[in-house]
Amino acid sequence: MITVTGITMLVTLITPCGVNGQRRGQEEAPSQRWSPISIGIYVGYDNQPSGEVAGAQMRIPVLPSGTVELISGANITFLNQLKEYQFNLEAVYTTGATAGGLYVGGGLAWRNTMFGSDLTAGRRTVRGYSVVTGLKTGGIAGTPFSPQLEIRWTFLKETALNPRVISLGVNVPLWGAGPRRSDLSGR
């Protein structure tokens, strides 16, 4: 009789725990969506060599929230009878993540141009570092287009050329924020 009573008590204690996990309407913790990678274009002005700039970039979130991003970008500075090319790889911290906000960061830079006054010397690529700050917004009026205003200072080694670019651009996410798994479980 003791074994039947013991088994009955054990089943009574265990059963509510097993049933509790199968109740309908139980709240599930919302899953974190990973911020999407975005690509963009920008135009601006480079005041050190005094020329217009056009470029493209890719913003890759490092954290799911998107507060830390890697920005990989390339641009062309159009000068009189010369084009200068620059590539940047920077890490930035954004105050508003995908909703937009201020961002600040820095990274590496490479610039390819003809340095000095001797035009027969040929082109070469010089390495340096960059500091960037800007303001980006979330999508405008329900669209995926996210404008940005940015200032970038580049400090190159082996030369006195330190380009400072101010630019206006627009970014577009490569994918939208899809539904959460918790949204799909109610179906």
Mean pLDDT by 10 residues, the chain (187 residues): 57 52 54 84 94 97 91 95 94 84 96 80 91 91 90 91 94 71 42
CATH tag for 44-115+123-172 (out of 3.30.1490.20, 2.40.30.200, 3.30.420.40, 2.40.160.20): 2.40.160.20
Q: Where are the domains of the chain?
A: 44-115+123-172
CA distance 1 to 55: 83
Q: What is the pLDDT of residue 182?
A: 40
CA distance 73 to 41: 9
Q: What is the pLDDT of residue 119?
A: 67
CB 38 within 8 A of CB 172: yes
pTM: 0.74
Q: What is the pLDDT of residue 187?
A: 44
Q: What is the pLDDT of residue 81?
A: 84
Longest dimension (CA), the chain: 105
